[in-house]
Amino acid sequence: MMHVDQIREGLEVVGSDEDHVGTVDALAGQLLKLKKNDPASGGTHHYLDIGLISAIEGDTIKLLVTGDDARQRWSEESE
């Protein structure tokens, strides 16, 4: 079971295929805010819905979708 209080800055976010998606900067409501200085970010903050999280294991957040799918779903602004 995923607990929102486990989400913290610095956790790695990976897709269901273990593809690196980003690194958590903060929790913004129901969105994961990813660090803009992560190599995967292209210098922009990206946001993913926490509903995409399948598990939090150690220092890693695993998503229900692949890395490519996550990148197609992320937004560049908190909505």
What is the per-residue DSSP string for 2-60?
--GGG--TT-EEE-TT--EEEEEEEEETTEEEEPTTSTTTTTS-EEEEGGGEEEEETTE
For the residues 32-57, what does the mean pLDDT come to?
95
Q: Which domain holds residue 33?
A: 4-73
Cβ-based burial of 24 (10 A; exposed 0-12, middle 13-18, buried ≥19): buried
- Per-residue pLDDT at 78: 55
Q: Identify whether 47 is part of a domain.
A: yes
- The predicted structure's pLDDT at residue 43: 92
Which residue did the predictor score with more confidence, 77 or 34? 34
Q: What is the mean pLDDT of residues 43-63?
A: 96
Q: Where residue 23 falls among pLDDT bands split at 50, 70, 90?
A: very high
Average pLDDT over residues 7-26: 98
Q: What is residue 2's predicted lDDT score, i.e. its pLDDT?
A: 63
Judging by beta carbons within 10 Å of its beta carbon (0-12, 13-18, 19+), is residue 66 exposed, middle or buried? middle
Count the domains in the chain.
1
Domain-located, residue 78: no
